[in-house]
Amino acid sequence: MTGVVIFLCAAAVAPLLFIFGNLVAKGASSIDWSFFVKNPVPAGQNGGGVAHAIVGTGIVVGLACAIGLPIGVGAGIFLAEYGSGKLGWTVRFLADVLNGTPSIVVGIFAWTWLVKPAGHFSALAGGAALAVLMIPMLARTTEEMVRLVPNSLREAALALGYPRWRTSLRVIVRTALGGIVTGALVAIARAAGETAPLLFTALGNLNFSTNIFQPMQTLSLQIFVYATGPFEEWHRLAWASALVLMGMVLILSIAARWVTRQRHGAR
Amino acid sequence: MAPDNSLVRLETKRLTALFGRTAAVHEASVFFPTNTVTAIIGPSGCGKSTFLRCLNRMHELSEGGWVTGSVLLDGEDIYDSAVNPVVIRRQIGMVFQRPTPFPTMTIYENVAAGLRVNGRLPRADVDMAVERALRQAALWDEVKDRLQGSAVDLSGGQQQRLCIARAVAPRPEVLLLDEPTASLDPAGTLRIEELCIELKQRYTIVIVTHNMQQAARVSDYTAFFYMGKLVEVNRTTSLFTRPKQPQTEAYITGRFG
């Protein structure tokens, strides 16, 4: 029995190790300083980097956070503190449906509502599409975390003469903050790796750009373009980009773990 | 019961507390004279905690909670539609069964928590109020060197005294204690009981307890509740030595409850 469990555990972990090992094997050799700071060179030539995609990922994910964090966390607090009625039930149901919506569908909608009316692809539309994916995750994890705060603390604050909203912010959210930050980091990690919704929105860009109203490259789009391209040099860079993206997600996951540990360790 | 000569700080008039359509307390009328301790006793589920929570408008925060009748604080009905319940809760402090320090705040911040709800105060004023409250709660000597430490590192008894300090820091008129020693060991219980007797110099205290010895030790008046009804209220010595109602006698002699 123990043997079976060990085998199943190994089977669960094996794909991750295999992927990471493969990425390191194929991508690590291409990663040097210029990979991070240089922009791509014309197709067919050797060298160049993905600075534009790294910066682009930062900007697009940053936009997604700027739009998604206030809405998602705010909705989560609302659901936990005031969400017992019909409105709460509706919001919760919609969030769950949205959470299960394939990301490519979100991309098509972002294209229909943001890209088409504006007449061109843009990083902002990409950020908005990612925000739509982040909001339900953020709302539900925030709700869970706020609900974990014992009701006795809520009552204690109210008995001190705190108004309801102030109780929510000063006592409840502050107590749940570690969990909310963890949830946010997980949502950001997930958004950073999304490709499908960005194909219709941020589109990609072979040049360095920080204009959020214009198309922008991200690491995920870079991998898509380079991996499906005809050049050996591009494949090499795709592997390296994948390794960098994986590294970023890993760092966010570790940060999320660390925040959780801090919260429980503080006691 | 006539409140012999002393002023009445708080008074309930035919107070009925309901959850939806079910009444948990029926038409209870009680006086709470200034600078006295009144104990509310009775078996579990008799409505004593619910009654207490009506006195600072906490009951209405429970699911389906509402009241009829009135509660007069210095002669003014706290259930008047012009009254803001948040303001009432600042005048009538409350301490709960389990210690509830705010885990993200330091000891200092916990005590100061209720002071800042009225807006910013000068730092020196807050410092003074925190020290005064901690001294009143008999906790100052134990925590004065670690005011910036975490409140959850204190022992259970210290946490409960911290909650008392937090409740008295904004100088309320009335202090409500809902079984404050239920989760404490005998030593912690004794400290809180001594504190009750000290604090009544400044405040009017109402304490809910399931422990009759405790009621006899700390209170001047005792109200006995049974099945949501106020059975009897009298001076503690009279109630325990010469109960007027057979139910009271049965309860205090340990025949039920």
pLDDT of residue A209: 85
Which of B55, B53, B140 lies closest to B96 in space, CA to CA? B53
The DSSP code for A170 is: I
CB neighbours of residue B83 within 10 Å: 14
Q: Where are the domains of chain A?
A: 49-265
Any domain includes B3? no
Q: Which spans in chain A are helix H?
A: 2-27, 33-37, 51-82, 86-99, 103-110, 116-118, 123-148, 151-159, 164-166, 174-193, 196-199, 219-228, 232-265
Q: Are B100 and A153 inside 8 Å of each other by CB?
A: yes
Q: What does residue B113 show for φ and ψ, rounded to 5 degrees?
A: -55, -40
The answer to whether B94 faces chain A, any CB pair under 8 Å, is: yes
Q: Chain B partners of A156 at a C-beta cutoff of 8 Å?
A: 96, 100, 102, 163
Contacts of B256 (CB under 8 A, 6+ apart): B43, B250
pLDDT of residue B6: 57
Q: How far apart are CA B155 and CA B161, in angstroms?
A: 10
Q: β-strand B8-19 against B65-73: which pairing, if any?
A: antiparallel
Answer yes or no: is pLDDT of B63 > 90. no
- How do residues B163-194 score in pLDDT, each as one tens digit? 999 999 999 999 999 999 988 888 888 888 98
pLDDT range class, residue B91, cuts 50, 70, 90: very high
**How far is the alpha carbon of B255 from chain A, nearest alpha carbon, in Å?**
33
Q: Chain B partners of A153 at a C-beta cutoff of 8 Å?
A: 100, 102-103
CB neighbours of residue A122 within 10 Å: 23
Any domain includes B79? yes
Option in A150, A160, A166 nearest B89 (CB): A160
- The SS3 call for residue B25 is strand
Any domain includes B2? no
Q: Are A155 and B96 inside 8 Å of each other by CB?
A: yes
pLDDT range class, residue A108, cuts 50, 70, 90: very high
**C-alpha separations of A93 from A75, A96, A214, B99, B143 in Å:** 12, 5, 35, 36, 48
The answer to whether A166 faces chain B, any CB pair under 8 Å, is: yes
Contacts of A180 (CB under 8 A, 6+ apart): A73, A76, A141, A142, A145, A146, A173
Q: Are B86 and A162 inside 8 Å of each other by CB?
A: yes
Task: Enter the tokens of residue B254.
Answer: 């340990």
Task: Pick from A158, A160, A175 the residue to mutate for testing the B interface (most B CBs within 10 Å).
Answer: A160
* pTM (predicted TM-score): 0.80
Q: Are A245 and A81 in contact (CB under 8 A)?
A: no
Rounded to 5°, the CA angle A88-A90-A92 comes to: 70
Residue in this structure with the two tokens 């009225």, named with its chain if needed: B118
Q: For chain B, how many helices (H) and strands (E)?
A: 10, 10
Task: Enter the tokens of residue B106.
Answer: 């330091």
The answer to whether A66 faces chain B, any CB pair under 8 Å, is: no
Q: How far apart are CA B19 and CA A224, in angstroms?
A: 60
Answer yes or no: is pLDDT of A233 > 50. yes
- Average the pLDDT over A204-231 and give the result: 89
Answer yes or no: is pLDDT of A265 > 50. no
Q: Are B86 and A171 inside 8 Å of each other by CB?
A: no
Q: Are B98 and A152 inside 8 Å of each other by CB?
A: yes
pLDDT, chain A, mean:
89
Q: How far apart are CA A20 and CA A15, in angstroms?
A: 8
Q: Are A177 and B104 inside 8 Å of each other by CB?
A: yes
Residues of chain A above pLDDT 90, percent: 51
Residues of chain B above pLDDT 90, percent: 71
Any domain includes B197? yes
Q: How far apart are CA A182 and CA A190, in angstroms?
A: 13
Answer yes or no: is pLDDT of B257 > 70. no
CATH number at residue B115: 3.40.50.300
Answer yes or no: is pLDDT of A267 > 50. no
pLDDT of residue B220: 95
Q: Which structural domain range is residue B179 located in?
A: 8-252
Instruction: Tell me the residues of chain A between 113 and 152 that have a Cβ less than 8 Å away from chain B.
Output: 150, 152
The DSSP code for B106 is: B
Domain total for chain B?
A: 1
**How far is the alpha carbon of B102 from chain A, nearest alpha carbon, in Å?**
7
The answer to whether A178 faces chain B, any CB pair under 8 Å, is: no
Q: How far apart are CA B78 and CA B99, in angstroms?
A: 27
Any domain includes B82? yes
Q: How far apart are CA B73 and CA B32, in angstroms?
A: 10
Answer yes or no: is pLDDT of A46 > 90. no
pLDDT of residue A133: 94
Option in B89, B98, B104 nearest A161 (CB): B89
Task: Enter the tokens of residue A174.
Answer: 């502050």
Contacts of A67 (CB under 8 A, 6+ apart): A127, A128, A131
pLDDT of residue B49: 93
Q: Are A172 and A81 in contact (CB under 8 A)?
A: yes
Q: Chain A partners of B61 at a C-beta cutoff of 8 Å?
A: 155, 158
Q: Which residue from A minimizes the CA distance to B151?
A: A267
Residues of chain B above pLDDT 70, percent: 97
CB neighbours of residue A73 within 10 Å: 23
pLDDT range class, residue A264, cuts 50, 70, 90: low
Q: How far apart are CA B177 and CA B158, in angstroms?
A: 16
Does the domain at A49-265 match CATH 1.10.3720.10? Answer given as yes
Q: Are B86 and A162 in contact (CB under 8 A)?
A: yes
Option in A152, A159, A174 nearest B104 (CB): A174
Any domain includes B174? yes
